[in-house]
Structure 1
Amino acid sequence: MIDTASQTDSNSTTRFWLIVTGVIILIQIVSQYLMGRIWICECGYVKLFEAGVNTPGNSQHLFDWYTPSHIIHGFLFYGLGWLVLRKKPLTAKLALAALIEAGWEILENSPIVIDRYRTATMAVGYTGDSILNSGMDMVSMIAGFFFAARVPVWLTVVIALGFEVITAFVIRDNLTLNVLMLVWPIEAVKTWQAAL
């Protein structure tokens, strides 16, 4: 026999955390709009994938070479949620992941971090994300989160490492190098990245 009261409680809890996640995403979008971010690429059109890294279209369209980094964010944030919210439902862990990703997206598009990217990393002409690209970064993180929630840990680790190797090979950048160069820039790495 199904306990309808506990099922209703479970549905209410799930709905609550999904609403919280939606509000977090809305705050991310509104915050970026208020910060003066543009909705789409200044070029006036939307591409599915921007292959150029040091081009005006980078971080302006739906997906780019930094999308794998955001998928890895989802892997990592799922792991964090599993660690600190073990007794909470998956949707509560998702809300935590969305909060962290939204916080990063807002910070990443602030003048101080944009300037840091320009001076410390290979992203010399970086102007920040379009609101569309930032929103798709959130979608990519959520996809990574749900992927990590459904597959064995070893597979998530293998895919994350694969993403890191492929992007390092193709664009001389990845999540690890991005964090390293923001926190503790190494001139030799910057020189290697600039040689692309």
Structure 2
Amino acid sequence: MQVNQARRREWSRAGLAILGIAVVMAAVELAMGRVLICTCGAVDLWHGEVNSAGNSQHLSDWYTPSHIVHGLLFYAAARWLLPGKGLPLRAVLAALVEAAWEVVENTPAVIGRYRDATIALGYTGDSVVNSLADLVAMLLGFALAARLPVWASVLLVLALELAALLAIRDNLTLNVLMLLWPSEAIRNWQAG
């Protein structure tokens, strides 16, 4: 009984920490001049048009799978790097890394890099609502990885990456590759 109470307290503290991380992330992004919601005035559950002003402005889009993959990968990294630490602490650290990425991703320098090096020619950055939804998507991936066998997590990563690749000719792998080592051949292929 005491073990269950201690575990609940540990998860409660982790949940509060993750909520705090989300609030700080949102406040930083707002202070950076990011819009709270899409300038279109709506918050859609799904926005599937990649080359549009609504991309990265709503709750989910074709880049949401990449944030689920973040969670799967962060779980694996935390399990490997912090084997003696509990799952709640690892979840908090994963949320911290994701929130830090969301802030960095929405700086003028990185937005400019996306425009210069990838097919995201009209990318203007994320709305705060989209960043918060991306954090939730990462936590979903993290939770899935904590429950799935390793082989299923690997298959899920491959399936999500392949689905995005087939649907929009982009995914987390190509996104990272194009940000770090742009390839004109890949960019031309992505442009269709």
TM-score normalized with structure 2 length: 0.96
- Unpaired runs of 5+ residues, structure 2, are none
Q: Which moved more, 1:139-148 or 1:18-27?
A: 18-27
Does residue 42 in structure 1 map to residue 33 in structure 2? no
Rg bigger for which structure? 1
Look up the equivalent residue of 1:187 and give its one-letter code. E
Match of 1:143 in 2: 140
State how far apart, in whole Å, the 1-side matches of 2:129 and 2:16 are: 21
- Unpaired runs of 5+ residues, structure 1, are none
Give the drift of 1:126.
Answer: 0.1
Instruction: Provide the identity percentage.
Output: 49
State how far apart, in whole Å, the 2-side matches of 1:139 and 1:37 are: 19
Match of 2:54 in 1: 57
Count matched residues. Answer: 192
Give the alignment partner of residue 118 of structure 1, picking from 96, 115, 119.
115
State how far apart, in whole Å, the 1-side matches of 2:4 and 2:179 are: 46
Match of 1:188 in 2: 185
Give the drift of 1:11.
Answer: 3.5
Match of 2:93 in 1: 96
Give the drift of 1:7.
Answer: 4.6
Match of 1:69 in 2: 66
State how far apart, in whole Å, the 2-side matches of 1:7 and 1:72 are: 30
Contact kept, 8 Å, 1:14 with 1:89, in 2: the verdict is: no
After TM superposition, what 4+ stretches of structure 1 lie above 3 angstroms from structure 2? Answer: 6-12
Match of 1:108 in 2: 105
CA RMSD, 1 decimal:
1.2
State how far apart, in whole Å, the 2-side matches of 1:98 and 1:10 are: 19
Cα deviation digits, residues 12-66 of structure 1 (max 9, x gap): 3332222222211111111101011001111111111111111001000110000
